[in-house]
Amino acid sequence: MRINKYIAECGIASRRNADKLILEGRVRLNNKPVTECGVDVNEYNDTVTVDGEKISLPSQYTYIVFNKPKGCICSSSDEKGRKTVFDYVDIGKRLFTVGRLDFDSEGLLLLTNDGEFANRLTHPSNEIPKTYLVKIEGEIAESELATLRKGVVLDDGTKTGKAKVKPIRVEGNLTRLEVTIHEGKNREIRRMFEAVGKNVVFLKRISIGEFKLGGLSRGEWRYLKDNEIYYLNNI
């Protein structure tokens, strides 16, 4: 098994984030530093450590859905002392988030220790649709909606994929929209609207595919049901 996959299977991080851990020099195999992501691991005989801590395959995977409130981050700790999602979801197991929502965003967030599950849902090539409720300042023209739908060039020069953007209604000086994207670029939706001169003041993820948040108040969580795990594994 490749070491990045092994780290993901151990529930330390998604496979892409496991690559980052390796490249940052935080991983050792049989007490030797690992610098390449393609190194193979014998999961029965080899010893792998991350930040000096031995890791091992879990005997059972955990899957949680959480209604993330605004004002917490998706890391396990924060040097600025801000709340993390693990202040809300503390079950005594090492988990990580499936993708991220930024500090000022809220809504549907999955947590797990199943790296392959996370990889399937977050890898851009799988094009898993994720839908958000968005509020922006002011109104938006049809020409700007058309630009968002076909993909916009972001501030770093990358271009987003096609998106579904559906205005819902105007509420005073705000416009409410529903936006579906298939990627996971950092702060993608906020940057999409910035590219057409609009400021996002509210952002909430409401679904992944057909899986909806439903029934959880802000800050509440629950374990996924078997049929939900099956759906998300096969979306």
Catalytic positions, please? 102
Taking each helix axis from N to C terminus, what angle separates 115-122 and 15-23, rounded to the nearest 10 degrees?
A: 100
Angle value at C-alpha 27, between 25 and 32, nearest 5 degrees: 95
Query: Around Cβ 184, how many Cβ atoms within 10 Å?
Result: 16
- Position 167, amino acid: P
Q: 133 with 108: CB under 8 angstroms?
A: no
What 3-state DSSP class applies to 103?
coil
> What would you report as the CA-atom Rg of the chain, rounded to the nearest whole angstrom?
19
